[in-house]
Chains A and B, each alone.
Chain A
Amino acid sequence: AQSVTQPDIHITVSEGASLELRCNYSYGATPYLFWYVQSPGQGLQLLLKYFSGDTLVQGIKGFEAEFKRSQSSFNLRKPSVHWSDAAEYFCAVGLSGGYNKLIFGAGTRLAVHP
């Protein structure tokens, strides 16, 4: 069955430090991969997506993610975190073949220390 694992429930970083959020997926076909961010009381906002091509994808707010097929991973990175990045981050895999369905991980809550 398809699944997404985000191993880190909570992460705390200092403002200005680099960030990497981990995501592993299980899906038999070529995956469509997404990262969403959810601020308190808000809906999910798409940060970036991978469909095909270059395995390093750039997103909004200075985020990037790298697809590694051999590791079934799609980790999210940011070189310098801002206090406004504190939020919950969700990795998702999109099921193709007409299903148009997103399977989400449980999320990683990011706290940023000043």
Chain B
Amino acid sequence: EAGVVQSPRYKIIEKKQPVAFWCNPISGHNTLYWYRQNLGQGPELLIRYENEEAVDDSQLPKDRFSAERLKGVDSTLKIQPAELGDSAVYLCASSTDGQGNPYEQYFGPGTRLTVT
């Protein structure tokens, strides 16, 4: 089966510009996650969706970050305006069930963002 698909793989933008990342989860996975991975660090959760509902966005910087998951399938993460500190790899993951215990999360290859 196809894995988690993300695009673009790389993005270079100037500060104050907007940027968007797209993720298509594994078919049938109702839970979708966006993580940010800073250089030399492990991933940190930004937002989790169960179907089309954002159930955990406590770590999402809402002044400049937004996300949507219309129709409960693919998702878009947006940054506007981008800052130098936003340079990182943005990972998308999906899993089959967000209720109760954690389940296996399948990760996409990520989008490496460089803000200059």
Residues of A within 8 A of B (CB): 4, 9, 32, 36, 41-46, 49, 51, 90, 92, 94-96, 98-102, 104-107
Instruction: Check if A98 sits within 8 Å of B100, measured CB to CB.
Output: yes
Contacts of A94 in B (CB 8 A): 101-102
Give bound CA distance, A109 to B3, whole Å: 25
CB distance from B17 to the nearest CB of A (A): 24
CB distance from A52 to the nearest CB of B (A): 10
From known contacts A102-B45, A104-B43, infer whether A96 and B100 are also in contact, taking CB-CB under 8 Å. yes
Contacts of A44 in B (CB 8 A): 43, 91, 93, 107
From known contacts A43-B4, A43-B107, A107-B41, infer whether A101 and B100 are also in contact, taking CB-CB under 8 Å. no
As a 0/1 sequence over residues 78 to 116 of chain B, the CB contacts with chain A under 8 angstroms (1 = contact) are: 000000000000010101001111111111111000000
Instruction: Check if A102 sits within 8 Å of B105, measured CB to CB.
Output: yes
Interface-centre pick from A4, A95, A102 (highest chain B CB count, 10 A): A102
Contacts of A51 in B (CB 8 A): 101
Query: How many residue pairs between the two chains, A and B, have CB atoms under 8 Å in the bound complex?
Result: 65
**Residue B53 CB within 8 A of the other chain:** no
Cross-chain pairs A/B with CB under 8 angstroms, 19 sampled? A32-B101, A44-B91, A45-B107, A46-B104, A46-B106, A49-B104, A90-B42, A90-B43, A94-B102, A96-B100, A98-B99, A98-B100, A99-B102, A100-B99, A101-B48, A102-B45, A102-B105, A104-B44, A107-B41
Contacts of B104 in A (CB 8 A): 46, 49
Interface residues contributed by chain B, number (CB under 8 Å): 27
Residues of B within 8 A of A (CB): 3-4, 31, 40-45, 48, 56, 91, 93, 95, 98-110
Give bound CA distance, A46 to B48, whole Å: 19
Give bound CA distance, A94 to B98, whole Å: 12
- New A-B contacts (8) at CB < 8 Å, excluding given A9-B40, A100-B100: A36-B107, A43-B107, A51-B101, A90-B42, A96-B101, A100-B98, A100-B101, A107-B42
